[in-house]
């Protein structure tokens, strides 16, 4: 099961970073507020990474349990993880003195994807645990 977890995390991190960078590149000229750009890039990256993970890992490769029925609370936590990761990515970009839209988008996508990956691991560990009577 650890191989599936590693593969899932790699897919989430790579897709999230690339999609975040692409969103930052595309929307960098239209959205002038860096915080709004970071949140949009992180949210789109998190959604794209989750879709890519479900399609590639569970439907195409056929390993692991299916995530067809995701509880509403997990979706809420994913949104919160996306906003927090996005703003953290913006802060990292500003600390590195690289406030370019591509860097902001890439870091927002990466950190949002990391938080989403941690959320997925926690959710699966909780669901896979046997129920005590």
Beta-carbon neighbour count of residue 36 at 10 Å?
A: 13
Statement: the pTM of the whole predicted model exceeds 0.85 = no
In this predicted model, what pLDDT tens digit does every residue of 14-28 receive, in sequence order? Answer: 999 999 999 999 998
Q: Give pLDDT, residue 52.
A: 84
Mean pLDDT over each residue of the chain, to the nearest integer? 82
Instruction: For residue 54, name the pLDDT band (cuts at 50, 70, 90).
Output: confident
**pLDDT at residue 95 is higher than 60:** yes
Q: Give pLDDT, residue 76.
A: 81
- DSSP per-residue letters across the chain: -HHHHHHHHHHHHHHHHHHHHHHHHHHTTT---HHHHHHHHHHHHHHHHHHHHIIIIIIIS--S----S--HHHHHHHHHHHHHHHHHHHHHHHHTT---HHHHHHHHHHHHHHHHHHHHHHHHHHHHSPPP-
Ranked by mean pLDDT, the top range of 49-53, 101-105, 121-125 is 101-105
Cβ(63)–Cβ(4) under 8 Å?
Answer: yes
In this predicted model, what pLDDT tens digit does every residue of 37-51 receive, in sequence order? Answer: 999 999 999 988 888
Q: Give pLDDT, residue 3.
A: 66
User: How much is the average pLDDT of 61-89?
Assistant: 74
Q: Give pLDDT, residue 12.
A: 87
User: How much is the average pLDDT of 67-73?
Assistant: 61
Beta-carbon neighbour count of residue 24 at 10 Å?
A: 30
């Amino acid at each position: 099961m650890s191989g599936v977890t590693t593969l899932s995390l790699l897919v989430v991190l790579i897709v999230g970073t690339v999609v975040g960078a692409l969103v930052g590149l595309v929307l960098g000229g239209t959205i002038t507020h860096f915080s709004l750009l970071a949140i949009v890039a992180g949210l789109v990256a998190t959604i794209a990474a989750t879709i890519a993970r479900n399609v590639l890992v569970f439907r195409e490769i056929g390993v692991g349990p299916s995530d067809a029925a995701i509880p509403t609370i997990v979706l809420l936590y994913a949104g919160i993880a996306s906003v927090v990761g996005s703003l953290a990515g913006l802060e990292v970009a500003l600390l590195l003195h690289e406030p370019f839209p591509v860097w902001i988008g890439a870091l927002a996508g990466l950190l949002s994807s990391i938080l989403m990956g941690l959320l997925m691991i926690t959710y699966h560990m909780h669901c896979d645990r046997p129920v005590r009577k």
